[in-house]
Amino acid sequence: MQFTINGETHEVEPDIRASLLDVLREHVGLTGTKKGCDHGQCGACTVLVNGRRINSCLTLAVMHQDDDILTIEGLGSADNLHPMQAAFVKHDGYQCGYCTPGQICSAVGMLDEVKKGWASHVSDRLDSVSLDNDEISERMSGNLCRCSAYPNIVDAISEVSGLTPAKKEAADA
C-alpha cells in the first residue's frame, strides 16, 4: 500500500486489518502519535487526514491510501516549531507529554474547524462561531490529559487562535 504521510510517499505492506495508528508507528516508524486506549476514547492517537482530525486507532489504514496524512512529526521540527507546538512549550501545555502530540494535532484541526465556521455543542450561534474558553474546552473534549494540564492547553490554543489575554478575560466574564 502507498501512503502520503507528512508530504512524503511511503510504501508499506501491513495486514489489511491494520489501523492507521499501527501503520504509522510499526511500519513507517513515526512514533510521535501515541497509542493510548486503542478504543478512540482518549485522543492520544489524533492525526490530521485531509486536514480533519481523526482518531487513527479507529480507522483502517487501507481506507487512507489516497489521503494526505499529517502527524505531529509533520507539523514542525525542533528547529522550526509549528505555532501550536511553540505555544504548548511556552504555556507548559503538557506534563508527562504522552497526550501532547494528539492534543496539538487536535488543536490545529479544531482551529481550522472554527475558521470554517463549524459550530460545536456550546456555540451560542450557528451562523458565526466565537472562540472562548468554553468553546475550546468543548472542542478539545475528545483529548484527555491524565496530568490535568487543561488550563495550560487552553492558554496555548487561545494564543494561537488570536484570543489574547484581554479578549480571553472578557470572554470569561
Instruction: Output the average pLDDT for the chain.
Output: 92
Query: What is the pLDDT at residue 12?
Result: 96
CA 87 – CA 131 distance, rounded (Å): 17
CA 83 – CA 47 distance, rounded (Å): 17
Band the pLDDT of 172: cuts 50, 70, 90. Answer: low
* 165 has a pLDDT exceeding 60: no
DSSP 8-state assignment for residue 60: B
Query: What is the pLDDT at residue 166?
Result: 42
Query: What is the pLDDT at residue 167?
Result: 52
Query: What is the pLDDT at residue 130?
Result: 80
* 173 has a pLDDT exceeding 90: no
pLDDT digits over 79-135, tens only?
Answer: 999 999 999 999 999 889 999 999 999 999 999 999 998 988 888 888 878 889 999
| DSSP for 88-117, written as a single string | HHHTT--SS-SSHHHHHHHHHHHHHHHHTT
CA 31 – CA 18 distance, rounded (Å): 16
If DSSP codes are grouped into helix, strand and coil, which group holds residue 110? helix
Q: Return the higher-pLDDT residue of 132 and 18.
A: 18
Partners of 155 in beta bridges: none
* 42 has a pLDDT exceeding 90: yes
Q: Give the residue-averaged pLDDT of 28-57.
A: 97
* 139 has a pLDDT exceeding 90: yes
